Structure 1
Amino acid sequence: MKTENSRPAARGTHHGGTVPAPEAEPAGANAVPRSRRRGKRVLGVLVAGVLLAGGTAFGTTLPDPTSSEVYRAVADAKAGAESERDSLRSDYDSLKSDYETLQGGIADKEAKVQARETEVGKAEAAVKSAEAAVKKREEAVTAAEKQKAANTVSDGTWTVGKDIGAGTYRATADVGSSCYWGIYETGSNGGNIMENDLPGGGRPSVALSAGQDFKSSRCGTWNRQ
């Protein structure tokens, strides 16, 4: 008997034969068509084959990069640069050591120079002090000599209070027989004799006051007492 829901199996002919009907696809929304699953499997096989072939090719045909001339040239250049770097570093360390040594020597020399300058300064101060003392003595001697000169009277005519100071004068040595001294009134030009003498020997002395002229002849020098 034939019902409405029964469906005859599909059949056909292909080159004189029959083609079996396609299998039923799985039901459901996430179902993957069979043809797509078959394509993925084929693609996976091809990729695996390519990778296997590529790995074999790389392993058998590519040379070792460390054995190439370029690699060796780069390695040699690197080694040369490192050697030059080490040499420069050694030179730098040596120069730095020399510099530090020189700096230490300079500091030591500067300290010695400073100490020497201090000693020189002290010596200069001592010299200046000695020079000042000598100058003071010289000034004292000069003043004494001037004072002595002011208190010393030689041959000639002198106005007391102008040329010589008032006071008592005495011959510095024994006089001879030709010695003459005279005291005159100032301004009389020897006309007004107040006192005179020809001592003839010994060390005579005279008392002189302002307003008088004193004359000494062949008596040597007189010192104020």
Structure 2
Amino acid sequence: MEISTSPQPTDPAPPVEGGPATKGAAGRTWKLKTLAVGGAAVVLLGAGTWFGTTLPDPTASDAYVQLAQGKAGVDEALSNSRDAYRKLDGEYATLQSQIKGREDAVSGRESAVGAAEKKVGEAEAAVKKREDAVTGAEKAKAKNTIDEGTWAVGRDIAPGTYVSAAAVGSDCYWAILAGGSNGSDIIENDIPGGGRPSVTLSAGQDFKSSSCGTWTKQ
């Protein structure tokens, strides 16, 4: 039996750190990482495409359509409410203007009535003043005028000298009497029979005139 003398295979020597073998391993590692990242990107792209094509469109759902219709109805109602408010606001402004006009007219009429009442009051005051003046003049005239009858001097008629307003007739009689004597105490008397007789009277006396007409104080 022959013994082979061929050289036996031996294990390769371990690579020296930093040598060519180390550089080859690093290159293979970088390529593997690149392939992994690319694969992941392809997987994600495919997944996105799958989700995009398989998920339903939310705007096509019945709930979305109902909500959209409800929103449109609310928007329309809001718009109508705004129009109604603007209309009511305009009508309110018109009514306010009309009320203001009527109030101004009433105020003007009240002012006119007040002015008229003031004029009436002034006229009434003037009439009253004239009436008082006339009454005073009449009273003064009454005290300064003697008619038929018996009068108390100083109370009914004023003291002073009186003359008949016109010529007297033959039946004229006058008498100056002591006051309170009831005609029994004659101070002076006369039957002039004509002309315009005169008498002088003092307070506290009585004067009687008969058929002599009117006597006027001088």
TM-score under structure 2 normalisation? 0.72
Q: Secondary structure at the match of 1:129?
A: helix
Partner of 1:193: 186
Distance of 2:168 and 2:59 partners within structure 1: 129
Distance of 1:99 and 1:53 partners within structure 2: 67
Deviation, 1:164, is 2.2
1:172–1:222 contact (8 Å) kept in structure 2: yes
Unaligned segments of structure 1, at least 5 residues: 1-7, 13-21
Partner of 2:89: 96
Q: Secondary structure at the match of 1:181?
A: strand
Deviation, 1:174, is 6.9
Distance of 2:212 and 2:23 partners within structure 1: 171
Distance of 2:80 and 2:67 partners within structure 1: 20
Q: Secondary structure at the match of 2:21?
A: coil
Q: Secondary structure at the match of 2:164?
A: strand
Deviation, 1:157, is 4.5
| More displaced 10-residue stretch of structure 1: 165-174 or 72-81 | 165-174
1:107 and 2:100 matched? yes
Distance of 2:195 and 2:124 partners within structure 1: 41
- Which of 137, 144, 160 does residue 137 from structure 2 map onto? 144
Partner of 2:162: 168
Partner of 1:155: 149
Aligned residues: 202
1:130 and 2:132 matched? no
Residue deviations 1:107-130, cap 9 Å, x none?
A: 322332332233223212211221
Distance of 2:141 and 2:196 partners within structure 1: 19
Distance of 2:49 and 2:95 partners within structure 1: 68
Residue type at the aligned position of 1:143: G
Deviation, 1:189, is 6.8
Distance of 2:207 and 2:143 partners within structure 1: 16
Residue type at the aligned position of 2:190: D
Residue type at the aligned position of 2:112: E
User: In 2 relative to 1, CA 164–41 (structure 1 residues): closer, same or farther, beyond 3 Å?
Assistant: same
Residue deviations 1:75-107, cap 9 Å, x none?
A: 112111211110111011101211221232233
Residue deviations 1:60-79, cap 9 Å, x none?
A: 32111111122112211211
Distance of 1:173 and 1:79 partners within structure 2: 118
| Structure (1/2) with the larger helix percentage | 2
User: In 2 relative to 1, CA 190–118 (structure 1 residues): closer, same or farther, beyond 3 Å?
Assistant: closer
Q: CA RMSD in A?
A: 3.7
Residue type at the aligned position of 2:46: A
1:167–1:207 contact (8 Å) kept in structure 2: yes
Distance of 1:33 and 1:223 partners within structure 2: 167
Partner of 1:77: 70
Partner of 1:58: 51
Partner of 2:207: 215
Unaligned segments of structure 2, at least 5 residues: 1-9
Residue type at the aligned position of 2:149: D
Distance of 1:118 and 1:57 partners within structure 2: 91
Q: Secondary structure at the match of 1:63?
A: coil
Residue deviations 1:119-172, cap 9 Å, x none?
A: 2232122112211111111111211221122223341242x3454211214368
Q: Secondary structure at the match of 1:55?
A: helix
